[in-house]
Amino acid sequence: MASLRLLFIVFVVGLCEAGFRERTLLNRLLTDYDPESRPWPEDADSGPTRVNFGLTLQQAGIDEANSRLWALVWFHLEWTDHDLKWNISEFQSLVRDVRISADRIWTPRVLLENFVVSSNRVPYNGTNVVVTSRGDCTYIPPLKLLASCPLDLTFFPNDEQICFLNFTSPGFSVSDVRFDFGYSYEAATDTYVINNEWALMSTYGNIITNDQNRQIISYQIKFRRRAFIWIRNLLIPIAVTSKFLISN
């Protein structure tokens, strides 16, 4: 019993020490840190900040009445900030990474360009950035997006629709911040929640540089309407009603 009590005390002391060292580290990292200044490449006086970009599609669908795409997504942003490095040996290897509020350090500002309501242009807040001792930063904020999506209903209800999510980083040219796909040019759909009306067919991503030397990260989202829902809920009732009226 005494040995268990001793182990518990050692465990609690270890947690307290790790917490103290983490607070000490955060104070050191953030003192004189300027969150408005983008990270520079190591050992370089110039050059773009390189950011790996990824998108996870959680839910999506089409609002036909308003010709728009709605989507619940997670951004996956990775970059390196050499002003946030530390030597783990100074902290007895107790602090290998820290969580820092996104509003306290520089983060890539990525906004939806083809938005349909102004709220999509508000920067995301409330998500922490995970920073390792090497200055590697990982930021995975959730967003709800509403994007314009012109529809072609020629083949309704057996139609397919293609919508786009176009992202850009306002205020930065490709010479300042350069985006690349981190793991895949397609949006991740491992945790995608199936839409009962629209079947998700593909999510192809592409990065282009426009005439203003700004990068556009564009995802082509392709849907196919689940026609059986319309046949069941609309066409069959119409056919039954028509037959009843004719027979009477």
Q: What is the pLDDT of residues 197-206, one digit of tens each?
A: 999 999 999 9
Ranking 78-92, 146-160, 174-188, 224-238 by mean pLDDT, the lowest is 224-238
The pTM is what?
0.82
Q: To which H or E segment does residue 240 belong?
A: helix 236-247
Burial of 203 (0-12, 13-18, 19+ CB in 10 A): buried
For domain 2-247, give the CATH number. Answer: 2.70.170.10
- Which residue's structure tokens are 């030597």? 87
| Tens of pLDDT, residues 4-57 | 443 333 333 333 344 557 888 999 999 999 999 999 887 666 789 999 999 999
How is the chain split into domains, by residue range? 2-247
Nearest to 153 by CA among 96, 227, 85: 227
> Given this model, what pLDDT does residue 127 score?
86
> Given this model, what pLDDT does residue 237 score?
60
